[in-house]
Amino acid sequence: MSDELVVSGGGSYAVATDEMLSNAANLLRAADIAREIVGAIHMVDARLTIGQLEALGIPSGAAIAEQDLGLAHRAVSQLADRAQQMSGLVRFAAESYGRGEALTESLVRRVATDAAATLGFLFPAWATAVALTSPMLPILAGIGVAAFVLGKTHPQLLEQEWMSARLNDLISDPAFVLALRHSVMTVDEFSAGASGVPPAMVSALSGAGLIGLATAAGSIQQAGGIAGLVKETAVRLVTRTPPVPVAAADSIQERIERIPQPTPEHPEQVRIERYETPGEAPRFEVYIAGTVDFAISDTREPFDTTSNVSNAAGREAGSVAAVAAAMREAGVTSESPVTFTGHSQGGGTAARLAQSGEFNTYGVLSVGGNTGQIAIPDSVPAIIIEHTDDLVVAAGGLQDNRHALVVERQAYGGIPLPAATMVPAHHLTQYVETGRLMDQSDSTELRGAADRMAAFGRGAATATVTSYYFERVSP
Amino acid sequence: MTHPPGATAQAALEFQVQQLRMINERLTYVRALLPSASVEWRGPAQQLFDLGVQELHRDLASARTMIDAAEQRTSTAASQMSARVG
């Protein structure tokens, strides 16, 4: 299992491993302390001069000690300067690498967009197939494949060990996941080209953000709606647990552990913690579950594939409606300070709620969410945790939330995948482990982001938690 | 009340020993903050980084040797003064 975290974003171009960022932070701290030591040596040295030593009749060994102090002073000064320079160089390297990577990604996206549009334009014979399948690609390749394997709707596939192992190897390969992220980004350009729009025009539309993942997902929903599939419905509150006292989460790991994992006995998909301090407006932390049912129709579950498609399309998903309704039930107003933490679909739902502007969002933590193409406002501090071998995050396309602190990890780097678990890197337990590694990090970026989130719930006089279970209302 | 010069010198030396011990402890803390050889870097960057790390550890070792020596000499001088003062 890989313990290496790669950290990027946070308003900077820097891309670096957690170890590099920790080194940079520690070197700077070492430089600061070394400078304090230089001051202390200077003070000791100045207290007894060689002249004073002679006047007081102190043995000559003490005079030699004064010379030692002079040399120590020089060595520690040099250490301080060198440590500061090295810290700066590590950060410079991370920034340069990040800029290079951003440029490469931008070029790849441009080339892929143009190629997709040109291919579609040059081979209109493919248009029928494209029209029928291409808007489905993001879903088939991302949400669809995830639904297929995670939903276990085809147990016979899992019974055939060799096949499930090979499929798992493929869909958990970081190269495949990255390729999928890129392909998800170009599906719409290919469709537009195939439908006769000149490639240059497609590029311009794509560059202007007028076509993309959201329009592809919208097409699916439109096409599916005709067949009675992926169709949105209203939701209703079924049950809610009585409020019980709770202590605010103090670490990223603890926060991830609090994300609901609905079961038949405890089907609640939304957990809301309410913090009250006399003289202040109540604050709320909202925890959102991932996809519960991968069905595309005939389900009462709002955390389903239909909501995944709606989230991608930017329409109000059943899951978004459920969380918003739970928040109103909990007493959240548009002014109430609120944070969102979600896993998988819960991450996308959190991003959509932050994007809506309906709430006074103080922070978003998304783990394994398909958030790449959901624009979280720059004013909202966000932490996005993604495993590079998690297929589900690829369904959200490339991560464009540059202001968010993005933490990546290959959950199964260098070790075999577990035999009986499909897409194991997507499982919440793996993200809990990533949270633990983040909490242990010395990186200034990670510590700062974790502290900001932890500070939200601190100091409350009373804190309670309530969980909510919603279902779809049949049309 | 004034101390005889020998007693003053002894107190000054003992205080210096204490200060040097504290400085040594701070240097131990700095050592814990310095990176070791990197597994994250590759190629020439790794060589440069590792070279820089070696230099840092060399500076630190040198400083510690000097502080240790100063502490030892000061401590010896304090003992000699103590013997003189009686």
3-state secondary structure chain A: CCCCCEEEECCEEEEEEHHHHHHHHHHHHHHHHHHHHHHHHHHHHHHCCHHHHHHCCCCHHHHHHHHHHHHHHHHHHHHHHHHHHHHHHHHHHHHHHHHHHHHHHHHHHHHHHHHHHHHHHHCHHHHHHHHHHHHHHHHHHHHHHHHHHHHCCCHHHHHCHHHHHHHHHHHCCHHHHHHHHHHHHHHHHHHHHHCCCCHHHHHHHHHCCCCCHHHHHHHHHHHHHHCCCCCCCCEEEEEECCCEECCCCCCHHHHHHCCCCCCCCCCCCEEEEEEECCCCCCEEEEEECCCCECCCCCCCCCCEHHHHHHHHHCCCCHHHHHHHHHHHHHCCCCCCEEEEEEECHHHHHHHHHHHHCCCEEEEEEEECCCCCCCCCCCCCCEEEEEECCCHHHHCCCCCCCCCCEEEEECCCCCCCCCCCCCCHHHCHHHHHHHHHHHHHCCCHHHHHHHHHHHHHHCCCCEEEEEEEEEEECCC
Task: Fill in the DSSP letter of residue B37.
Answer: S
B62 neighbourhood in chain A, CB within 8 Å: 71-72, 75
pLDDT value at A364 more than 50 = yes
Q: How far apart are CA A387 and CA A371, in angstroms?
A: 13
More confident residue, A153 or A452: A452
Q: Which of A57-61, A136-140, B78-82 has the highest mean pLDDT?
A: B78-82
Give me the pLDDT at residue A474, please: 75
User: Is the CB of A47 inside 8 Å of chain B's CB atoms?
Assistant: yes
Percent with pLDDT over 70 in chain A: 75
Taking residues A372-385, what's their average pLDDT?
A: 93
Instruction: Provide CB contacts within 8 A for B1, sequence distance 6+.
Output: none
Q: What is the mean pLDDT of chain B?
A: 84
Instruction: Provide CB contacts within 8 A for A451, sequence distance 6+.
Output: none
What is the β-pairing status of strands A244-245 and A12-17? unpaired
Q: How close is the nearest chain B Cα to the Cα of A451, in Å?
A: 21
Query: Beta-carbon neighbour count of residue A194 at 10 Å?
Result: 25
Mean pLDDT lowest for which of A77-81, A366-370, A393-397, B8-12? B8-12
Q: How far apart are CA B26 and CA B16, in angstroms?
A: 15
Give me the pLDDT at residue A210, please: 57
Give me the pLDDT at residue A438, please: 94
Nearest to A390 by CA among A434, A436, A441: A434
- Report the predicted TM-score, pTM, of the whole model to 2 decimal places: 0.73
Taking residues B40-46, what's their average pLDDT?
A: 72
Query: Beta-carbon neighbour count of residue A243 at 10 Å?
Result: 16
Q: How far is CA A43 from the centre of its chain?
A: 49
pLDDT value at B31 more than 90 = yes
Domain that holds residue B11: 5-85
Q: Which of A90-99, A206-215, A346-355 has the highest mean pLDDT?
A: A346-355
CATH number of the CATH domain containing B11: 1.10.287
Query: Beta-carbon neighbour count of residue A162 at 10 Å?
Result: 7
Q: Is B4 helix (H, G, I), strand (E, B) or coil?
A: coil
> Residue A445 class from Cβ within 10 Å (0-12 exposed, 13-18 middle, 19+ buried)?
buried
Please report, as a single letter, which amino acid is at residue A185.
Answer: M
- Shortest CB distance from B19 goes to which of A34, A40, A66? A40
Instruction: Provide CB contacts within 8 A for A404, sequence distance 6+.
Output: A9, A10, A364, A376, A382, A383, A384
ipTM entry: 0.87
Q: How far is CA A337 from the centre of its chain?
A: 21
Q: Which of A6-20, A101-115, A243-257 has the highest mean pLDDT?
A: A243-257
Q: How close is the nearest chain A Cα to the Cα of B15, in Å?
A: 9
Q: How far apart are CA B24 and CA A255, in angstroms?
A: 40
Mean pLDDT lowest for which of A65-69, A234-238, A261-265, B82-86? B82-86
Give me the pLDDT at residue A135, please: 42
The model's confidence at residue A398, banded by pLDDT at 50, 70 and 90, is confident
More confident residue, A434 or A105: A434
CA atoms within 13 A on the CB side of A110: 7
Taking residues A58-62, what's their average pLDDT?
A: 73
Per-residue pLDDT of A279-337, as tens digits, reads 999 999 999 999 998 776 678 899 988 888 888 877 789 999 999 999 999 999 999 99
Taking residues A99-112, what's their average pLDDT?
A: 69
Q: What is the mean pLDDT of chain A?
A: 82
- Residue of B25, B62, B66 for testing the chain A interface, max A β-carbons within 10 Å: B66
Asked if A309 contacts A319 with a C-beta cutoff of 8 angstroms, the reply is no
User: Is the CB of A28 inside 8 Å of chain B's CB atoms?
Assistant: no
Contact B33 A19 (CB under 8 A): no
Per-residue pLDDT of A233-291, as tens digits, reads 899 999 999 999 999 999 999 999 999 999 999 999 999 999 999 999 999 999 999 99
Mean pLDDT lowest for which of A86-100, A172-186, A219-233? A219-233
Give me the pLDDT at residue B50, please: 86
Nearest to A307 by CA among A277, A343, A338, A349: A349
Mean pLDDT lowest for which of A2-6, A283-287, A358-362, B43-47? B43-47
B84 neighbourhood in chain A, CB within 8 Å: 57
More confident residue, A452 or A218: A452
Per-residue pLDDT of A91-101, as tens digits, reads 887 777 767 67
Give me the pLDDT at residue A229, please: 63
- Shortest CB distance from A26 goes to which of B9, B27, B35? B35
Asked if A178 contacts A388 with a C-beta cutoff of 8 angstroms, the reply is yes
User: How many distinct structural domains can be found in chain B?
Assistant: 1
Q: How close is the nearest chain A Cα to the Cα of B6, in Å?
A: 7
Q: How far apart are CA A221 and CA A205, in angstroms?
A: 21
Q: How far apart are CA A407 and CA A416, in angstroms?
A: 23
Q: How many residues does chain A have?
A: 475
Q: Residues A375, A378, A383, A389: is their CA dihedral positive or negative? A: positive
pLDDT value at A157 more than 60 = no
Give me the pLDDT at residue A177, please: 83
Taking residues A199-223, what's their average pLDDT?
A: 63
pLDDT value at A212 more than 80 = no
Q: How far is CA A3 from the centre of its chain?
A: 17
B19 neighbourhood in chain A, CB within 8 Å: 40, 43-44
Percent with pLDDT over 90 in chain A: 45
The model's confidence at residue A149, banded by pLDDT at 50, 70 and 90, is low
